[in-house]
Amino acid sequence: MTAMDLGPTVLARIQWRARFAQRVRARAVRCYPYPGGRRLTM
């Protein structure tokens, strides 16, 4: 299947998951600092 066949709902879900993962990652970085003060940059 192509993106055109999937439709806007799947695209919206992908964007939502991307935002959700970004928010979780930011919270994890803030709550759990890495050794040496390094931050996860992805």
Q: What is d(CA 11, CA 9) in angstroms, rounded to the nearest whole number?
A: 5
pLDDT tens readout for residues 1-42? 565 666 788 888 989 999 998 888 887 776 566 665 555 554
Indicate the pTM of the whole model.
0.44
pLDDT at 42: 47
pLDDT at 6: 66
pLDDT at 31: 58
**Contact criterion met (CB below 8 Å) for 39 and 29:** yes
Q: What is d(CA 15, CA 9) in angstroms, rounded to the nearest whole number?
A: 10
Q: What is d(CA 4, CA 36) in angstroms, rounded to the nearest whole number?
A: 46
